[in-house]
Structure 1
Amino acid sequence: MNSKINIALVDDEQLILEGIKLLLSKEKHISVNLTSINGNDFLENLEKLSPEDFPDIVLADIQMKPMDGFELVEILKTKYPELKIMILSSHYKTGVLGYMVKLGVSAFLPKNSPKQVFIDAINAVYKNGVFFTSEDYSMLSSYMNNSQKKKSLFDNSDELTEREKEVVVLICQEFTNNEIAEKLFLSPRTVESHRQRILEKIGAKNTVGLVIYAIVHNIYSPPVNL
């Protein structure tokens, strides 16, 4: 892991962009290496970054032109599946949160969030892959009460086996393949096979999607962030 958390910012409101950058500049363990006022410029500039400056987390707005946040997230998740994405938006609604979860977004925060919640979210996403507040859980719970919406979150037709669920929980707890292999008395290659099969079964593209799947299907319960 890097000594600092590399952050990229995308927002078409210049004042918001500069304000967030200034706020994060006061955190010694966080470095903002890229800012862009639209998705197209961001994608172009992202490709030019050196590996050491490549972001660990992208903070993006939803309402942007000519490319909105939804389209940007879909492109990023296709080209950089392990890249963690946090959405900062004024449009904090259950349906939007559900759609963002389906895309594999790591956190969804209102723009009027307190500073400490914002910093805590960045730290949690960097360490654990996701950040959900108690309000997020309430909204997701409401979303999941609708069977059609629940089914739409993940295109999965096969149930996970008990062994696969054990692997999922350990992945959520950030254990490596070798560590999982030791705990479950398996070979690392077998653990990797389990991981790939799980991703295929649940229709997730990456570890973030796997963690979110585990949360919404009550396989794993992370600490709740208030």
Structure 2
Amino acid sequence: MVKIALLDDEFLFVEGVSVLLASCPNVKVTLAETDGLRFLSRMSEMLVDDIPDIVLLDIEMKPMDGFEVIERLRSMYSEIKIIILSSHYRQNVLGHMMKLGTSAFIPKNTTKAQLLEVIDAVHKNGLYFTTRDYEMLRSYLNTSNRRPMLSPKDKLSSREQDVLKLICQECTSQEIADKLYISVRTVESHRQHIMDKVGAKNTVGIVLYAIMSDIHPLPPMA
């Protein structure tokens, strides 16, 4: 069961998505709100068993916008995965989204099937990228001067690079373990070491690092 929280300042949109997800047997909406401040307040009062695995939220909201909500969520619950569901699907938003460590960015006119596909991928792998996302990311990186650097003592080992490449291919920990003939626990240990070395907070951060360091090249343009 994937626990979902919804936040959007349009009541009808929140209600509509809640009804849509209620028909899915493996998804449970544990919180739905239209105000960022109330959302964070209610999150802080939730029982541990009700804390969502994934938060779906919009960007442009008042009085607190989605980016500020994400920053506060990150400080409160580092393990929660975040999906931005917005009509403002632009390159500069995607770049800022990745800096904040959100897991996916999908337009509001997405279909039910696509939304469930994204939720499933984010829940399993921590990341969901479309071809269009990659195209915008390529453009974003071409205009960015920031290049990640590691000191020699922090350099990723050959095995860590193998794990990182498979993470970038959106493989689950079990799939990585099967491909590399190691245990899931070892995969998770490598993942944590990679995050510690590159200073990433989650899967999105280490994928961005891999792309900027040419460990994982972006797919070629169609």
State the TM-score, normalized to the length of structure 1: 0.80
Query: For residues 12 and 63 of structure 1, what CA distance do their matches in structure 2 show?
Result: 8
Query: Could you tell me which residue of structure 2 aligns to residue 206 of structure 1?
Result: 202
**What displacement does 1:54 show?**
1.3
Which of 37, 40, 55 does residue 37 from structure 2 map onto?
40
Partner of 2:64: 67
Distance 1:32 1:221, change over 3 A: farther
Partner residue in 2 for 1:6:
3
Q: Could you tell me which residue of structure 2 aligns to residue 173 of structure 1?
A: 171
Q: Which amino acid in the other structure matches residue 164 of structure 2?
A: V
Compute the displacement of 1:197 (Å). Answer: 4.1
Over 3 Å counting, the alpha-carbon distance change for 1:92 and 1:191 in structure 2 is: closer
| Residue identity (%) | 47
- SS of the residue 1:131 aligns to: coil
The aligned length equals: 211
Worse-matched range after superposition: 68-77 or 166-175:
166-175
CA distance in 1, matches of 2:163, 2:124: 18
Give ranges in structure 2 of 5+ residues lacking alignment: none
Residue pair 1:6, 1:54 contacting (<8 A) in 2 also: yes
Counterpart mapping for 1:10-25 below 5 A:
10-25=7-22
1:107, 1:125 within 8 Å by CA — same for their partners in 2?
A: yes
Q: Spell out the pairing of 1:150-169 with structure 2 (5 A cutoff).
A: 151=147, 156-158=149-151, 159-169=155-165
TM-score by length of 2: 0.82
In 1, are the aligned partners of 2:5 and 2:29 still within 8 Å (CA)?
Answer: yes
CA distance in 2, matches of 1:39, 1:167: 36
Q: CA RMSD in A?
A: 2.9
Q: Which residue of 2 aligns with 1:53?
A: 50
Superposition deviation, residue 167 in structure 1:
3.5
Q: Alignment partner of 2:60: what SS?
A: coil
Q: What SS is found at the alignment partner of 2:5?
A: strand
**Counterpart of 1:85 in structure 2: which amino acid?**
I
